Amino acid sequence: MFTQIKNFLVLLMVITIAFPSACKTKYPPLRIGNSIGIKDMNYERLKAMKDAGIDCIEITTGGFISTKKPKTDAEITELLTRTKLAADSAGIEIWSIHMPFGKDIDISQTDETIRKNSVALHMKVLEFCKIIQPKIILFHPSWYLGHNERNERIAQLVRSVNELNPKVKELGAKMVIENMLGYELVRNEQHERPLGRTVEEVKLIMKQLPKNVYSAIDMNHIDNPELLIQAMGKRLKSVHIADGDGRHECHYMPNPCSGKGDNDWIKILKELYKAGYHTKQVEGNQNSTWILMDYNDIIVHIFSKEDRLFYDLERMWTDGKQIDVNQL
């Protein structure tokens, strides 16, 4: 799948939503972003993204926070300083950062020593965030759980969020909590799925968190993601766009372009609109085989598989530079 340099976009992996308060219009447009590991960042790659219509990125922390091969503070500072310079030079905003996650750094751990150590690690990452100045800081609510401990884990998560959120606020950022994959409660004999596995559980968790802690939705983690968008409404601040079946970590390109996945993109876009984010214009409806969505600087075309092959819009841009989005 290729994305053209001009105002034509077939699809992208991540949509990042801007804050209403930062926009002059009543309904801020959707901002198109891409998730990228910090080790993969350089000016050339970021400039190619910018030319393709991407204007913001989410950085994952695995490249500079590792419990197996930890970097020194000086090494992390140098890496993040270089990253910020590359992004600024390419004209791309570091919109969000994906905080570390794993069994031993789980902020919902029932073992209070592990929980406190996990919070301390996250505090350290937040201190480094001063260098890259993200607007959104994304947390996983938990790793896999033991059986019959969900209520206790939720209480521990709430405790950790209340400890971390003031630091996030101090940075001028917004704290968001991502929903997790878990169509079935039980993973195996030892574990249940992580917190935030259903619409109802996400609502239960968010109700217990401060009002200035928001929701992030990964559409690959849940069936019918439009229902979670509907439930979160104005509390939604970031969306990871991917197609899937709500049962596996598929992260397909959005159907029908990939020919895979079950998400209903018309319903998803309608719920995003209700939450306060909309396109300039949409032509076509859920019964159409070609839908056009105008986001001012970017045009999104959603085809049936047959119409995509028939119209072959890319041929109109054969004189432009083509970029394989999988290489971004």
Q: Per residue in 172-229, pLDDT tens? A: 999 999 999 888 888 888 899 999 999 999 999 999 999 999 999 998 889 899 999 9
Give the pLDDT mean for 5-32.
Answer: 42
- The pTM score is 0.78
Confidence category of residue 8, pLDDT binned at 50, 70, 90: very low
Confidence of residue 33 (pLDDT cuts 50, 70, 90): confident
- Hey, which CATH number is domain 13-279, 3.20.20.150, 3.40.50.10140, 3.40.640.10, 3.40.50.620? 3.20.20.150
Closest CA to 222 of 202, 192, 207: 202
pLDDT (0 to 100) of residue 199: 96
Helical axes 150-170 vs 112-132, angle rounded to 10° = 30
Alpha-carbon distance of 207 to 275, in angstroms, equals 18
**Is the pLDDT higher at 6 or at 322?**
322
- Is the pLDDT score of 148 beyond 70? yes
The larger pLDDT score, comparing residue 179 to residue 288, is at 179
